[in-house]
Structure 1
Amino acid sequence: MPNFSITGIVADSLTGEPLEYATFILHREQDSTQVTGIASKENGHFRLDSLRPGRYFARVSFLGYDLKTLADLKLNREKPRLDLGRILLAPSGLTADEVVVEGERLSVEYHVEKKVINVAKQNIAPTGSAADILAQAPSVTVDIEGNVKLRGSSNFTVMIDGRPSVLDANDALQQIPSGTIDRIEIITNPSSRYSAEGTTGIINVIPLKRGANGVSGQINARSSIDERRGADFTLSQPVGKSALTIGGNVGIGRDPGESESLTRTTFEDVTTTVTSNGSSVGVRDNYSLRAELDVPVNDRNSFVFGGRFGEHAFGRVSNQLTTESVNGSADVLRSISRNNTERAFQHMHGFANWKHRFDDKDHELTLDLSFGGRDGDEEVLTEQIAESGSMMSGILSREDGPGRRLEFKTDYVRPLGGKRKFEAGLSSQFNRFNSDNSNSELDTTSGSYVEQTQFSNGTKFRRFMPAGYSMISGDLKWFEYQLGLRGEYLDRTVEETQTTQAISLSRFDLYPSVHTATHLGGTKELSLSYTRRVEHSRPWFLEPFITWENRFNVRQGNPGILPEFIDSYELGYQTNIFKQFASVEGFYRVKHNNVEMLRSVYSENVTLTRPENVGRQFSLGTELRSDIIVRKGWSIGLSGNLYDMRVNGETDGRSFDEHTFTYDGKLNSITALSKNTRLQVDANYNGPSVTSQGETEPFFSANLAVRQDFMKKALSVSLQARDIFATAKRESTIDTPLLYSYDYSKNDSPIVTLSLSYTFNNFKKKQDSRSDGNGDDF
C-alpha cells in the first residue's frame, strides 16, 4: 500500500522568508473533524506521512498572519503524494491572541531537540519576567524568589537570542520583561553544536524582532498595589533593505514578606540554639537598552550587529527578633537583628555575526563574535541591637570586581546529498574576573566600623576554553539521526591576591551526543537522545579564604572542587489522542562529582557554607504534557513530572544515601470570554526535593488574569493576581549530627498588577534562524 503524504513550505507573502513553527492542521472534508497536524521546521517545510486516502482541507496559521484555508485536497492511489509547494501567509493586523480563539496554536511546541514556549499564548498579561513565563513551562520549576530550576537543577545556561548571557542564569531570567519576549526555547539534551556548559541544558530567550514597513512596535507598562512598577518597549524601523530593532525596559520591585528560622549547632560540647522571626522586603530594580541591525548585503552574505547594556540592583532588608540560648538553659538572650543586603551590577554585551551562503542550498559558513562584561559590588550589613536599644555588634562585608567575557566561534554546514548534512565548528572563550573582599566589625565604643584585615582578601580568576565539534545527520524517510562529538579544553587559574598563590587546572574532555527520531505516521513521533555535559565552578566557588556574611554565617570556596559531569538519556513520544496533543518523555540522568553547598559548624554559634563534591546524583522519571482544545476559544495546557531522585556519597566522614520520590504539576487555562476578552488561570504544585543534608518541602500556588482588548486589539488592558490563595512558600530543613537548621519564608500575597500594552503599525515578529544557535538539529 502506498504511503499517502502531504508536504509543503510555509512562507511570508511579503518577504518570502520561511516561517518556522507555522501550524498546518488537516481536516476531513466530510465532517470537518481534525485528522492531524504539524509545525513547520526552520526552513518552513512540513511533511505529514501515513495518511489515509480521501478528501481533506487544511488550515495554516501563524502568529501575526492571516489564517489560510486550503480546500479540495485529494489523496488516492493515482496521487498518493501531494506537494502543496509554497504556502504564502499574509501579515495581518491581528495580535497573537486571535490565534488562541482559533485554538490551533499550542502554547508549548515539541521539536526533536527542544521545547518552544510561545509567550503570547502562554501568558496573556505582560506583567512579569522570563522567570514568570517559565513557571508554567514543562521541565521547569520556579520558587517564590523567582529562582529557576531546570529538571530540578540550577546548573543550566541562559542564552539571549542564541548567545550566552554575561549575567548569572537566574539574574538574567529575572530581569527580562515578559513583554519583550517572542518565545523561549528549552533544550534539556543539547547536541554537540552547543557549548557543553550547563549540566541540565539550555534556556534560550528570543526577544521580539522587526515588524512591517515603517516604524512599528509594542509598548508595555505595569503597576501593582505594592511598590512594583515597570515599562518596556520594542520598536523596529526598516532602513533600506536592513532592519533596525531597539528595545528597553525599566522596573522597580519590592517584595515584602515574613520569615522564621531555627539553627542548633554543637561545637566543643557547647550546643547553641538561635531562633529568629520577623519581616523583610526584597528589592529588585533594573533597566536596560538593546539594539540590533540586520544588514542583508546580497543574496549570499548578511551581517547582524547588536548590543545591550543596563544595570540591575537587588537585595533584601530584614528586621528579625532573635533569641539565643546555650545548652538548653532558661537564660535567653533576646535582640533585634537588622540585615541589609545590596547588590548592584552594570552589564554590557555586544555581538557581530556574518553569514555566507554558498551556491548549493543549505551550504553556509557563519562567523560570530560576542563580548561582554559586568562591574558591580555587594554590601552586606548585619547589626545586632539589644532590647535596651544599644548596639551589641555589627559586621560589614563588601565585595566588588569586574568580569569580562570574549567568545569567537565559526560554524560550517555542508549538505552531503539527499537529506544528509555535515556540520563542524570551532570556538574560543576567554573569561576574566577579579574579586576584592573586605570585612569590617563595629567598634561599639567609637560607633565606627574597623576593617579586619585577616578576613579581607581577593582573587583573580582566568579561564581559557577552546573547543571544536563535528556532526553528521540524515533522514531515511521515516527515521532521522544525528551524531555529534565535541571536544573542550579547559585552562583555569585562580590566584589569591594577598599571597599571590595560584591554583591551576588543565584538562581536555569529550562530549558526545546522539539524537534520533522515528516518524510513526501522522503526528506520532518517537525520539531518543543521549548527551554528556559539564558544569564548571563559578569563580566564588573557588575562593580559598573565609568571608563573613553576617554574625552567624561565614562562607568559603573550595579551589580543589572538581567539575560536575552528567550523562543524560531521554526517550520521548508525541501524538494526538482524541484529536488533542499529548507528549510523554522519560529521562534518566547520572551526575558525577555532584556539587552541593554544605553547611557545617565553624565555631560556637557560627555555621560555614562551602561547596563540596558529594558523590553522585541519580534522577529517573517521566514528564507528561497535553494541550487540550476544550472548545473554540478555550485551551488548557496540563503538564507534570514524576521522578525518583537519589543522592549518595560521603561528606564530613559519613556515608549517606538520600532518596525521595517527587512530583510536580501545572495547569494553564486560557478562555476567550468574548472576541476581545481573555481569562487565564494558572496552577502550580512544586514537589519535595532532597539533598545530602536535608530536604525542601512542597508548595502550591495559583494565579488569575483577565485581559480586555480595544482599538482592534492594538490596545490591551490586563489585570493579574498572583498567588491568589497565599500558599507559595519556601521551607527547608538541614539535619546533621552537629547542625540542625529550619528555614521558612513567604512573600505577602496575592500580588495584584494592572498592565497596559499598545501595539502600533502592525507590529509582528520576525523569525530568525540564528535564535537557536544555528537552527534545529534535524
Structure 2
Amino acid sequence: MNITMQRILPVLALLLLSLYSNAQPHGRGHGPGGGMGPGNMPGSGIMGRVIDANTKLPVEYANVAIFNAEDSVLVNGGITNDKGFFMIKKVKAGIYNMRIKFIGYKSHTVYKIEVTDENPIVRFKGIQLHPANVELDAVTVTAKQEEVVYKIDKRVVNVSENINTVGGTAVDALENTPGIEVDIDGNVSIRGSDNFTVLIDGKPTAMSGNDALQQIPASSIKEIEIITNPSAKYDPDGLTGILNIILKKDEKGGLNGQVSATVGTQDQYNAGVSLNYRKGKMNLVGGYDFRQGGRNGNSESLYKTFRDGYTDFREEEGERGHQRINHSINAGLDYDFNDKNFLSVNGRFRIGERNRNNESFYSKYTDTIPDITNYFSIGDNQDDETSYEISSSFIHRFNEEEHEIKIMASYSAEDQNESAYTKTDSLAEVTFLLDQTLTKTTEKHHHGTFQIDYTLPIGSNKIEAGMKSSLRDIAYDQTGDIINPVPGALSNEFVYNEGIHAVYGMLSGPLGGLEYQLGLRGEYSRVYTEQKSTNETNTKEIFTVYPTLHFSYEINKKNKFMAGYSRRVHRPRTYFLNPYVTSSDGFIVRKGNPDLDPEYAHSVEVNYLKYFENSFLNVTTFYRQTDNNIGRINVPLEGDTTLLTFENINRETSLGVEVSARHKFKKWVSLNVSYSFFRYTIDGEALGEDLSNESMNHKIRANADIKIGRNIRLSAFGMYFSPSATSQGEREAFYFTGFGYKHTFFDQKLTLSARIRNPFGNFQWKFTSRGSNFENEYIRRPDFPQFNVGLTYRFGEQTKRRKMGTEEGGTREDFNEGMTVD
C-alpha cells in the first residue's frame, strides 16, 4: 500500500457518511463504456476522473458511491486520488446510479450506468463538479486529513492522525490543540475557561464534561469538533462552547474492525476491540474498552493567616494518587429503509472504579512562638460508578435537496457510590489520634432529552427550526461520620431538579459576496434545589434568548474571512449549590451557595484564513465577556480552618489574538505552530473583598511531524503557558514537551505506536492566592516522565494494490493512489 492510501484510510469512515444525503442531481451523463485488454484491467468495474467545472483541475478525495438503480441500496464506493481518478472494482452486471460528492461542491448523480458481461468496464472522462453556492459549514483549510481542520464555525481535531494519543484519551488528543489547555489532573479548559459542554456524536452524555474526556479512549474517537461559537441549533450551555466527540463508525461492507492494547508507566493498561458489520441497508457497530491508569504526583503548600499581632503558618508536603479502572461496552444499529428514511439506535454501558488517596505532613507555627507542631494525615476515597446511555434518531428526507426532518431522543443514568476515609495524627513526643472520619455517599443522575430539527431550502437560502426539551434529576445523599457518629446528626441529602425547554430558528444563505447564518434560540429553564437536612429550598425560573450570527466572505480561493457571535450560559454545578458544610482534612471546609445565578457570556470571533502552496495561516481575534462569573472564594475562619465557598463575582473578560500556521517543508516534514496572546481581567468583589485582577497571557505551541518512508512517523511537540490571573491570585508559567513514534506493518494492518510525555520531568503547577488576612502558595508536580507503547491490528479493510491502465494522461500509479472498496 502506498503513502497516499495510508493517509486516506483513517478518513474513509468520515467521508462515506456524507454519501447518504438526498442530494438532487445537477446534470447527468454517461461516459463511453468499453473494456481493456486482458492483463491491463480487472474483470469488471466503473472508473473515471472528477474535475472542477470551472478550473478543470482534478478534485481529489471526492466521494464516489454506486447505488442499485432499482432500490437505491448502496452497493460499493470509493474516493478519488490526488489527480481526480477513481475506480470501483468487482461491480456485478446490472444497472446502477453513481453519486459523487465533495465538500464545497454540488453533488452530481449519473443515472442508469449499465454493466454487462459484454461491457464489464465503464469509463468516464472528466465528470464535472460545480462549486456550491452556499456551504456555510464546509470552509476548510485543506482537503487532506490534517490534524486540525478549520471550518466556518468549528475546528476539527482528527484524532486518528495524532500519534501522540497512543494509549491515551480525548484529553491527550486535545493537549496540543490551539486554544486548549490541559491541567495537571487532565482537566481541559478552552482559552482559560473550563465552562464548556461535551457531546458524544452530537448527544449529551451521563458523564460530566471532563470525566467524559478522561474516560473515552482515543482509539475509539474519529474526531473532536471544537465549536467556540455554536449556532442556535445547539444548546447554549458552556461559556466557551462545545466539544463534540465523534466516535468511529465504518461504512464499508462486510465485517471489519480493530483490536488494540497499550501498556505504560504508572500501571497503565488499556485494551479494546471495535467491530462494524454492514450488509445492504443495515449497519451494526459494537465494541468493548478496558482502561486502567491514573495521575500520581506530589505537592507542597504554605498557608499564612494574618492575625492581630502575629501570623499563623502551616506548611504541607504530600503524595497524591489517582487511579481509575473502567469497562465500557457500546452497540449501535443504523438502518436505511430507503434513500429517504434512516433510523439509528445506539447504547453504551460503563462500569468503573476510582481510587484517590493522599498522605501529607503538616507543620504549624507562628512568627512569635517558634515551637512547631507536626501532623500526619491520610485520605482514601473509593468510588464505584455505573452508567448507561440510550439514544435514537430518525431522519426523513424529502424530494428537495437538504429538505429534511430529524427526530432524536436520549436517556442516560448514572449511579455513584463513594467511601471517604480521613485520619489525622498529631506527631508530638507521643503520637496520638487527632481526627478520624468515614462517610458514605450515593449519587444518582437521570437525564432525558427529546429534540426535533427541521430544514427547508428556499431557493439559495435555507430555513432551520426546531425544539428541544431536557429533564434532569440528581439525588445526593451523604451519611454523617460513621466512626464517630453524632446523635441526632442529619445526613447531607441534596436534591436537584432541572427542566429546560427551548425553540430555535435559523436563516442562512448568500448575501452579495457574503454567506450568512442568523439564529435565535428562546429557552425557559426551571431549577429546584432542596437540602433536606435543613429544609432549605430554592427555585429559579428564567426565560432567556440566545442570538447567534455567522458570516463568511471569500476574497479569492486563497483568502477568506469568517466572523461569529453567540451568547452562552453556564449553570451552577450541584456541588456549587449545596449549602451543607463538609470537611476533607480538618483544615478546609466547603459550603455551596444555593443563591448562585447562572453565568452568561458574549463571545465574538473574527477569523482570517490565508492559503499558500505548502502552508496555511489562520489569525483569530476573539473577545469573551462573562457576567455573573462564579468564583471560588477562600475565607479564613477561627483557628486553622479555611472556608471554601462560591460567589457570583461580577465580570470576567478575555480579549486577544490567536495565530496558527502550518508549513510543509518537504513531503516528509511538516511543522504546526500556534501563538495566542490575550488580556484576561476579573472585575468584582465578594464578601467585602475586592477580587479585581488581570494578566497578559501568552501561549506558544509547536508540533513537528516527520515521515520516514511509507511506514514510519515521528513527532515532537512542546508548549509554553505564561502566568495567568485567578480571582484571588495567579497561576505561574509552565511548559511541557513530548515525543511520538508510529510504525505500520503488514500492509498497514498492524500499527506499533509509542509516546513519551514530559521526558525531562520538570513540569509543575504553582498557584498563589491572597486576601486582606491570608496568603497561600500551592505547588503540584505530577510523576513524569510517562511512557506508553501500544499495538493496533485492523482487519476487514481493503489493502490490495490495483493494477490499471491509463486514461487522460493518468498512469497506473495515479490510480494506485486512490481508494476502492471491493
TM over 0.5: yes
The 3 A distance-change label for structure 1 pair 13 and 289 is closer
CA contact 1:440–1:452 (8 Å) conserved in 2: no
SS of the residue 1:533 aligns to: strand
Matches within 5 A, 1:142-181: 142-181=182-221
SS of the residue 1:179 aligns to: helix
Q: Deviations over 1:293-329 (max 9, x none)?
A: 1011122211100111102333422212211124542
Q: Is 1:621 aligned to residue 662 of structure 2? A: no
Amino acid at match of 2:772: P
CA contact 1:158–1:202 (8 Å) conserved in 2: yes
Amino acid at match of 1:120: S
SS of the residue 1:172 aligns to: helix
Separation in 2, partners of 1:111, 1:583: 11
Separation in 2, partners of 1:313, 1:180: 21
The 3 A distance-change label for structure 1 pair 344 and 728 is farther
2:147 is aligned, of 81, 86, 107, to 107
Amino acid at match of 1:714: K
2:467 is aligned, of 392, 406, 426, to 426
Matches within 5 A, 1:457-606: 457-476=492-511, 478-577=513-612, 579-606=614-641
SS of the residue 1:449 aligns to: coil
SS of the residue 1:69 aligns to: coil
2:345 is aligned, of 292, 298, 305, to 305
Separation in 2, partners of 1:133, 1:12: 18
Query: Which residue of the partner structure matches residue 257 of structure 1?
Result: 297
468-477 vs 582-591, which moves further: 468-477
140-149 vs 646-655, which moves further: 646-655
TM-score (normalizing by structure 2):
0.81
Post-superposition offset of 1:270 = 7.1
The 3 A distance-change label for structure 1 pair 16 and 362 is closer
Separation in 2, partners of 1:223, 1:12: 29
CA contact 1:103–1:632 (8 Å) conserved in 2: no
CA contact 2:17–2:251 (8 Å) conserved in 1: no
Q: Deviations over 1:741-763 (max 9, x none)?
A: 21111111111111001111118
Amino acid at match of 2:61: V
Query: Which residue of the partner structure matches residue 160 of structure 2?
Result: 120
The 3 A distance-change label for structure 1 pair 179 and 483 is same
Separation in 2, partners of 1:266, 1:455: 34
CA contact 2:13–2:248 (8 Å) conserved in 1: no
Gaps of 5+ in 2: 1-11, 23-49, 64-76, 86-103, 111-122, 125-141, 800-822
721-730 vs 511-520, which moves further: 721-730
Separation in 1, partners of 2:686, 2:336: 57
The 3 A distance-change label for structure 1 pair 350 and 328 is farther
SS of the residue 1:375 aligns to: strand
Query: Which residue of the partner structure matches residue 93 of structure 1?
Result: none
Q: Is 1:740 aligned to residue 775 of structure 2? A: yes
2:387 is aligned, of 347, 360, 369, to 347
Separation in 1, partners of 2:20, 2:176: 29
Amino acid at match of 1:707: K
Q: Is 1:688 aligned to residue 714 of structure 2? A: no
2:19 is aligned, of 13, 17, 20, to 17
Separation in 1, partners of 2:774, 2:15: 66
The 3 A distance-change label for structure 1 pair 422 and 160 is same
CA contact 2:165–2:173 (8 Å) conserved in 1: no
1:639 is aligned, of 665, 668, 674, to 674
CA contact 2:304–2:314 (8 Å) conserved in 1: yes
Amino acid at match of 1:470: G
Separation in 1, partners of 2:80, 2:225: 25
CA contact 1:350–1:371 (8 Å) conserved in 2: yes
Separation in 1, partners of 2:265, 2:689: 50
Query: Which residue of the partner structure matches residue 447 of structure 2?
Result: 405
Matches within 5 A, 1:268-279: 271-279=311-319
Amino acid at match of 1:162: G
Separation in 2, partners of 1:359, 1:211: 24
CA contact 2:271–2:290 (8 Å) conserved in 1: yes
CA contact 1:106–1:627 (8 Å) conserved in 2: no
Q: Is 1:286 aligned to residue 326 of structure 2? A: yes
Separation in 1, partners of 2:748, 2:735: 34
CA contact 1:160–1:205 (8 Å) conserved in 2: yes
Q: Deviations over 1:570-615 (max 9, x none)?
A: 1001111464111010001110001111111133111111111001
Amino acid at match of 1:432: D
Post-superposition offset of 1:215 = 1.3
CA contact 2:559–2:608 (8 Å) conserved in 1: yes
Q: Deviations over 1:141-189 (max 9, x none)?
A: 1012110001211100000000012211101100011111000000001
114-123 vs 751-760, which moves further: 114-123
Separation in 1, partners of 2:361, 2:226: 43
SS of the residue 1:550 aligns to: coil
Query: Which residue of the partner structure matches residue 283 of structure 2?
Result: 243
CA contact 1:61–1:68 (8 Å) conserved in 2: no
The 3 A distance-change label for structure 1 pair 565 and 12 is closer
CA contact 1:572–1:583 (8 Å) conserved in 2: yes
Post-superposition offset of 1:681 = 0.8
Q: Deviations over 1:399-418 (max 9, x none)?
A: 3221100110101100011x
Post-superposition offset of 1:108 = 0.9
The 3 A distance-change label for structure 1 pair 378 and 700 is same
Separation in 2, partners of 1:516, 1:746: 44
SS of the residue 1:17 aligns to: helix
Separation in 2, partners of 1:15, 1:140: 28
Query: Which residue of the partner structure matches residue 220 of structure 1?
Result: 260
Amino acid at match of 2:81: L
382-391 vs 227-236, which moves further: 382-391
SS of the residue 1:541 aligns to: helix
Gaps of 5+ in 1: 1-9, 21-45, 72-80, 90-101, 442-447, 765-778
Task: Give the paired residue count.
Answer: 699
Post-superposition offset of 1:265 = 2.8
The 3 A distance-change label for structure 1 pair 680 and 16 is closer
Post-superposition offset of 1:389 = 4.8
Q: Is 1:436 aligned to residue 450 of structure 2? A: no
SS of the residue 1:164 aligns to: coil
Separation in 1, partners of 2:511, 2:108: 21
Amino acid at match of 2:673: L
SS of the residue 1:205 aligns to: strand
Matches within 5 A, 1:295-374: 295-326=335-366, 328-374=368-414
Query: Which residue of the partner structure matches residue 224 of structure 2?
Result: 184
CA contact 2:13–2:251 (8 Å) conserved in 1: no
689-698 vs 460-469, which moves further: 689-698
652-661 vs 638-647, which moves further: 652-661
Post-superposition offset of 1:84 = 9.7
CA contact 1:267–1:604 (8 Å) conserved in 2: no
Separation in 1, partners of 2:580, 2:786: 41
Greater Rg over alpha carbons, structure: 2
Separation in 1, partners of 2:15, 2:501: 42
Post-superposition offset of 1:703 = 0.7
Separation in 1, partners of 2:668, 2:738: 20
Post-superposition offset of 1:57 = 4.9
Query: Which residue of the partner structure matches residue 676 of structure 1?
Result: 711
CA contact 2:679–2:696 (8 Å) conserved in 1: yes
RMSD: 2.9
Report sequence identity in percent: 29
Query: Which residue of the partner structure matches residue 700 of structure 2?
Result: 665
CA contact 1:11–1:18 (8 Å) conserved in 2: no
The 3 A distance-change label for structure 1 pair 329 and 343 is farther
Amino acid at match of 1:393: D
Post-superposition offset of 1:282 = 1.8
